[in-house]
């Protein structure tokens, strides 16, 4: 039995996670917290706190979790570098997973993207395209950012050095040392991601399309059950899924 506190419980993901957890006897939802609720009221009674809120909220949630000695699953995306650093510092005291995507399929996409980049080499231009529903608040998505980071790492660079967000005006020719990242918004799209490798005379595209939030919600619960009882540290979905 894993006892969870859901933070961001009235949001799209919060509702999906609480809905799944309540149907599964191996989870107990101890508390559902959202804006205006006392954030740590029930932390003492739970094993794992799950955060799907807004990037500005995660540092406070992680600080509370570290003080209470509770494991933390973070699905929230869009953190600034300093927010991310402050959150990850809490891993010295508690076990936590900060993942931009909890679906098994997207984690397979992360793995395949690295392999494809290694096989195809820098002769293939790399671009990432994502599409999400019109209510999404951050861009590019955390998943697109992670895909671009994987591509940049494989090229021996960083996201900040190599990524170009959209193109407008007199951009000049594309160089071999850039990764285009493009965010589309509209309708009720749950989450589409495509990694394009464009070479001379051929193109490889790796695509993942999520059609239900339950895929992320199920993965977040799987991560929570896996994290319960672990020692302090920053873990990943690759650890949870045994992808090494």
Residues noted as catalytic: 132, 136
Task: Give the nearest residue (CB) to ligand NAD.
Answer: 11
Distance CA 60, CA 39 (A): 9
CB closer to ligand NAD, 155 vs 195: 195
Cβ atoms 17, 220 nearer than 8 A: yes
Distance CA 99, CA 74 (A): 6
Smallest distance, ligand NAD to C-beta of residue 53, A = 4
For residue 44, the SS3 value is: helix
Smallest distance, ligand NAD to C-beta of residue 127, A = 21
CB closer to ligand NAD, 27 vs 52: 52
Give residues in contact with ligand NAD (CB under 6 A).
7-8, 10-14, 33-35, 52-54, 57, 75-78, 99-102, 138, 142, 216
Distance CA 195, CA 128 (A): 5
Cα–Cα separations (whole angstroms), residue 36 to 7, 25, 32, 135? 11, 29, 12, 21
Smallest distance, ligand NAD to C-beta of residue 161, A = 24
CB closer to ligand NAD, 151 vs 221: 221
């Amino acid at each position: 039995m894993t006892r969870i506190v859901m933070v961001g419980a009235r949001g799209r993901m919060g509702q999906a996670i609480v809905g799944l957890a309540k149907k599964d006897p191996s989870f107990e939802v101890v508390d559902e917290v959202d804006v205006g609720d006392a954030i740590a009221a029930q932390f003492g009674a739970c094993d794992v706190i799950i955060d799907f809120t807004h990037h500005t909220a995660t540092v406070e949630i992680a600080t509370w979790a570290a003080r209470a000695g509770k494991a933390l699953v973070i699905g929230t995306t869009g953190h600034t570098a300093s927010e991310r650093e402050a959150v990850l510092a809490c891993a010295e005291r508690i076990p936590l997973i900060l993942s931009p995507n909890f679906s098994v399929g997207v984690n397979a996409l992360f793995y395949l993207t690295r392999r494809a980049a290694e096989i195809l080499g820098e002769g293939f231009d790399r671009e990432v395209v994502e599409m999400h529903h019109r209510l999404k608040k951050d861009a590019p998505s955390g998943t697109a950012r992670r895909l671009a980071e994987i591509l940049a790492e494989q090229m021996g660079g960083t996201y900040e050095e190599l990524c170009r967000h959209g193109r407008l005006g007199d951009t000049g020719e594309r160089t071999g040392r850039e990764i285009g990242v493009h965010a589309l918004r509209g309708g009720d799209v749950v989450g589409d991601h495509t990694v394009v490798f464009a070479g001379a005379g051929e193109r490889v595209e790796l695509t993942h399309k999520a059609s239900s939030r339950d895929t992320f919600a199920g993965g977040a619960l799987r991560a929570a059950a896996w994290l319960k009882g672990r020692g302090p540290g920053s873990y990943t979905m690759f650890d949870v899924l045994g992808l090494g």
